[in-house]
Structure 1
Amino acid sequence: MTAMKPAFALLALAAALPALAAETPPAFNLSPQQAHIDAPRNPAAIAQIPPGFAFAEPGKFTVAIAGASGPPLALLASDDKSTIGSEADTARLIADSLGLELKVVQTSWEDWPLGVSSGKYDAVLSNVTVTESRKKRFDFATYRQDVLGFYVKSGSSIASIKEAKDVAGLKVVVGSGTNQEKVLLAWSEANEKAGLEPTTPVYLDDQAAATLAVQSGRVDAIFAPNSLLSYIATTRGGIKQVGLVNGGWPLKADIAVTTRKGNGLVASIQTALEGTIAGGQYASVLQRWGLDAERIDHSQINPPGLPD
């Protein structure tokens, strides 16, 4: 999650989306006892842990996950206390690879920077986008692409939204002050210069109204972070994905494990991630939570970040 896209209340959207009579049962297992996707110990990653490194708790990999990331990234299990989702599953892969026990700490988005800087957490997996400003304070190992999605009602005649001309003349629900708003406005401006119809951004604070507007045809699409809309489409139905755009458009935005700057742990985490990518466990986690569109082929340490 970048600092530029907090405004769209996606959790409310998930809660607001009405069930349809023809929908199928939820495809995701929300039980706290669901089977873990495990990774083998990775000797190369373990060897890269700095000698004498002081983990937050000895023998454990303590990871902060902010609940505001939303499903399927982070959500409470059916016991209303256990954190599950793709972030926790990815954290477990790293912990397994490092020969450590995973400890997940539920935190707020505002708390994680101080928590990881102070050593309260060994790492943060909370949909954190790499930016040039954050790279001055933290080290990063990438594990997903930052992806935005265009979604329309299931019966819509709109089959594809891939570029600016595809949104010409459309009404699109978008969050004010977000990355997706910047993309949409840039595309609309390009269309006007090309003699095409402008796009009408629709700002609806009430997410029930936003969802009903899409399903009723009063607006044409929703443009928002892909992960939650994918989750909604799978578990509740009524909308479908017709296009994906990198969240840093026209640049590339990466989601990364976040560690304290200069403490040396990032190299072992990156090696652990590379091992799970090669071993297939990483792909299994993304497939479990419907996030294959956000898959990466290699983990990078401190790649170019978005400008601030």
Structure 2
Amino acid sequence: MSSPRSLRRRLGVPGAVLASAALVVSLAACSGQASAEDGAAKAGSVTIAAHTNGAGTETAITVDKVDSIAAEVPDAVKKSGKLVIGVGALPAGFPPLAFTGDDQKTLTGSEPDLGRLVAAVLGLKPEVKNATWDNLFVGIDTGATDVGFSNITDTEQRKEKYDFASYRKDELAFTVLKKDTWEFDGDYKNLAGKTVAVSAGTNQEKILLEWKSKLEAAGKTLDLKYYPDANSVWLALNSGKIEAYFGPNPTAAYQNTQSASSANPTRTAGTFSGAGETLQGLIAATVKKDSGLDKPIADAINHLIEGGQYAKWLKAYNLTNEGLPKSEINPPGLPLDNQ
């Protein structure tokens, strides 16, 4: 089982985000893997963002089986009648992406919900399996899990074992107070003079340290601050000790949603690719290499994009800024020298 510290480093979020998520995790989280038949998807309709306790907007989406896409599904999966969806959200979960809902049993969040929508297009019953991050990949490797929907970044190294169907941008975001008019325009130079919080040992820290060096070489400053948990970050932002927090875009989306009715609401001031300035990072559905599932899943996602259900899914979780115009099979991924 992954420790909270290792999960924090993988996601790049402050520890308290995971700690707060742990409050809504069911007793099943104590096991190595939890699985349940999914009742969230019904004929012709899928309810997303159910039991999210405000992390998403519950929305019923109309989606029907598409026979031409369903015909592409490998026979073994077709005969099983179900799509086994793997999520690596144990032990604590990570809202708004994947976590145990406020009913203490529903695995909710953007990731399993997209899996449910894809299953509906394929005419399959969704079965969501929640595991540790490592066991998620073990499930895919052994065939116990058909596909991973779990904020998995498309990388060239992973392509040695897996095939991908992209469905979201892998974005980092600057979170500021809503009243702050500053915008990040994609150029590190407009960070000059700023004080920004970041989590240690993360990809976003690496990016900020590179920008800090460039600014200092030009005689300018960028002050980085580190805090032990999310509460400390938001207190520092509210009090003016920092001007922004740089972290995963879904974390920013969650914070913006949670703070919307507070005295100090936040907003996203700009995003930057998690893969760096030369490549748009991508999050992708992940299947065992040569399993034959990559094409039907990509086609199902593209059907959802064309039909508008994809946009409703993104909006429900405040992730519209991570939307893609098209799902691609095995697009360029994070290179081997940047992993």
Q: Give the TM-score, by structure 2 length.
A: 0.79
The verdict on how the C-alpha distance between 1:41 and 1:147 changes in structure 2, with shifts beyond 3 A counting, is same
Question: Is the aligned partner of 1:168 residue 2:196?
Answer: no
Is 1:277 equivalent to 2:301 in the alignment?
no
* Secondary structure, counterpart of 1:37 in structure 2: strand
Displacement, 1:15? Answer: 6.4
Tell me the amino acid that sits aligned with residue 83 of structure 2: F
For 1:163 and 1:120, how far apart are their aligned partners in 2?
A: 44
How many percent identity over aligned positions?
35
Aligned position for 2:271: 244
Q: Which residue of 2 aligns with 1:66?
A: 88
Q: Say which of 214, 217, 220 aligns to 1:193.
A: 217
Describe the SS at the equivalent of 1:255. strand
Q: 1:4 to 1:183 in 2, by over 3 A?
A: farther
Matching residue of 2:330: 302
Q: Distance in 2 between matches of 1:7 and 1:269?
A: 25
Match of 1:21? none
Q: Is it true that 1:82 corresponds to 2:106 in the alignment?
A: yes
TM-score by length of 1: 0.87
- Do 1:148 and 1:225's aligned partners in 2 also have CA atoms closer than 8 Å? yes
Structure 2 portions without partners, runs of 5+? 1-6, 21-48
- How much is the aligned-residue C-alpha RMSD, in angstroms? 2.3
Partner of 1:218: 241
Distance of 1:31 and 1:73 partners within structure 2: 10
Name 2:10's counterpart in structure 1: 6
Q: Report whether the alignment pairs 1:233 with 2:261.
A: no
Q: Does residue 180 of structure 1 match 2:204? A: yes
1:203 aligns with 2:231: no
Q: Distance in 1 between matches of 2:85 and 2:187?
A: 37
Query: Within the alignment, does 1:124 sit opposite 2:151 as a pair?
Result: no
Q: For structure 1, which runs of at least 5 residues remain unmatched after alignment? A: 17-27
CA deviation string 1:255-295 (max 9, x = no partner): 00000111111111111111111111111100111100000
Choose 292-301 or 83-92, whichever is displaced more: 83-92
Deviating above 4 A after TM superposition, structure 1's stretches of 4 or more consecutive aligned residues are: none
Q: 2:320 aligns with which of 254, 271, 292?
A: 292
Letter in 2 for 1:260: K
Specify the SS of the correspondent of 1:186: helix
1:171-202: CA deviation from partner (whole Å, max 9, x where unpaired): 1111222121122122222222333x221221
Letter aligned with residue 167 of structure 1: L
Give the Cα separation in 2 of the matches to 1:9 and 1:31: 19
Measure, in 2, the Cα distance between the counterparts of 1:194 and 1:279. Answer: 49
Q: Distance in 2 between matches of 1:157 and 1:14?
A: 29
The number of equivalent residue pairs is 291
Q: Aligned partner of 1:61: which letter? A: L
Larger relative CO (CA 8 A, sep 6+): 1 or 2? 1
Per-residue CA deviation, residues 109-152 of structure 1 (Å, 9 max, x unaligned), is: 12111111101111110000011110101110000000111011
Following TM superposition, by how much is the alpha carbon of 1:14 offset from its aligned partner in structure 2, in angstroms? 7.5
Contact 1:7 1:175 in 2 (8 A): no
Q: Distance in 2 between matches of 1:90 and 1:100?
A: 13
Q: Distance in 2 between matches of 1:260 and 1:208?
A: 39
Distance 1:107 1:178 in 2: 23
Instruction: Give the SS at the match of 1:244.
Output: strand
What is the alpha-carbon distance in structure 1 between the residues aligned to residue 269 and residue 255 of structure 2? 14
Q: Does 1:258 find its partner at 2:286?
A: yes
Superposed counterparts of 1:138-157, under 5 Å: 138-157=162-181
Task: State the shift of 1:54 in Å.
Answer: 4.2
Question: Residue 4 of structure 1 contacts residue 177 of structure 1 at CA under 8 Å; is this kept in 2?
Answer: no
> How far has the Cα of 1:7 moved from its partner?
6.4
Query: Would the alpha carbon gap of residues 36 and 75 (structure 1) be closer, same or farther in structure 2, given more than 3 Å must change?
Result: farther
Instruction: Tell me, in whole angstroms, the C-alpha distance in 2 between the residues paired with 1:10 and 1:39.
Output: 36
Contact 1:11 1:70 in 2 (8 A): no
Report the 3-state secondary structure (helix = DSSP H, G, I; strand = E; otherwise coil) of the residue aligned with 1:298: coil
Report the CA distance shift for 1:231/1:240 in structure 2 as closer, same or farther (over 3 A): same
Residue 58 (structure 2) pairs with residue 30 (structure 1): no
Alpha carbons of 1:157 and 1:298: their partners in 2 closer, same or farther (altered >3 Å)? closer
Partner of 1:23: none
